[in-house]
Structure 1
Amino acid sequence: MTKRIGLGRAPEIYQAMANLQAEVTKAAANAGVDPKLLELVKMRASQLNGCAYCLDMHSRDALKLGESARRLFVLDGWRETDLFTEEEEAALVLTEAMTKLSATQTVPDDVYERATKVLTEDQYRAIAWEVIAINSWNRMAVTSHSPLPKRDS
């Protein structure tokens, strides 16, 4: 793989992204969004974007929060299971629609309605901002060919 210029090596811009992420995390907590749900959102967007770096990071974070390995293993096929709650499914379908905007050009009304049926306005905003943030992180990591950190497992 060709070594790339690391976009994370622009400290002021990177810090702005980190600040955005911190604000999104805070807004989600204030809205009562389960941190495990945010990790599922990050994982699903990262799957769609092919971001190994973020998949590695957020699977570890999810496991530390008590997420089950089984749910992470089947996340790419979440529609084929009954392992996810109605709220999680709404967040996942919203994540997919927002992540695939280049193909769809919109978040379909049925996706929006499904999400707003089970999420409060503050929860919807927090999850949507999380999707925006993780898609930005994915684009930074994929474009930079960010290597996985060295780990034992």
Structure 2
Amino acid sequence: MTARTTRLAPGVRTAMQSLSAAAKRGLGDPALAELVQIRASQLNRCAFCLDMHVAIARKEGVSDRRLDLLAVWQEAGDGVYDERERAALALTEAVTVLTDGFVPDEVYETAAKHFDEAELAHLIALITVINGWNRLMVARRIPPGGPAW
């Protein structure tokens, strides 16, 4: 499969990059930010973003075991992901999939127990922007390692 187009409007690219950077900074946990972006990219089947964020996660010190089990984080057992990470991953799935058209109160409330108001706002922004990136890359069929723009 080849890319449909490698063109992305420069203003859109700049805005998305700025939003991504601000969300990551505000979350303050680079490894968790990568886990969140990887999980959303898995759900959205975005090979480009998955490839990129797995490589970044490794640079941030995320172990191969945690990366290997991320798709099944709920079944991974104790000791693989802590409660804060589990809350972030549950929120990632709820925001990404929106099965019932909204994020369930229980998922949001659990996340709110582990993140202060500012962190939670940045986490939701990060989930939202990676979903946007996923859709941009999947719609254009940008392959792993392919041209981002």
Instruction: Give the Cα–Cα distance (whole angstroms) in 2 for the partners of residues 113 and 53 of structure 1.
Output: 32
Counterpart residue type for residue 91 of structure 1: A
Q: Is it true that 1:90 corresponds to 2:87 in the alignment?
A: yes
Aligned partners of 1:49 and 1:138 also within 8 Å: yes
Per-residue Cα deviation, 1:28-61 (whole angstroms, up to 9, x for no partner): 23xxxx1100000000000000001011000000
Deviates most, 15-24 or 64-73 = 15-24
**TM-score normalised per structure 1:** 0.89
**Alpha-carbon spacing, 1:65–1:2, altered in 2? closer, same or farther (3 Å):** closer
Q: Is it true that 1:127 corresponds to 2:126 in the alignment?
A: no
Q: CA deviation at 1:15?
A: 1.1
Aligned match of 1:64 = 59
Structure 2 unaligned blocks of 5 or more:
none
Aligned match of 1:17 = 16
Q: CA deviation at 1:5?
A: 2.4
Q: CA deviation at 1:6?
A: 2.9
SS of equivalent to 1:104: coil
Structure 1 unaligned blocks of 5 or more:
none
Which of 133, 140, 144 is 1:137 aligned to?
133
Instruction: Give the Cα–Cα distance (whole angstroms) in 2 for the partners of residues 11 and 113 of structure 1.
Output: 37
Supply the RMSD in Å over aligned alpha carbons. Answer: 1.3
Figure out how many residues of one structure are paired with residues of the other and give that number: 144
Aligned partners of 1:28 and 1:123 also within 8 Å: yes
Aligned match of 1:27 = 26
Instruction: Give the Cα–Cα distance (whole angstroms) in 1 for the partners of residues 46 and 109 of structure 2.
Output: 29
Aligned match of 2:49 = 54
Q: Is it true that 1:76 corresponds to 2:71 in the alignment?
A: yes
Following superposition, which runs of at least 4 residues in structure 1 exceed 4 angstroms of deviation?
none
Aligned match of 1:107 = 103
Aligned partners of 1:97 and 1:104 also within 8 Å: no
Aligned partners of 2:3 and 2:143 also within 8 Å: no
Deviates most, 115-124 or 87-96 = 115-124
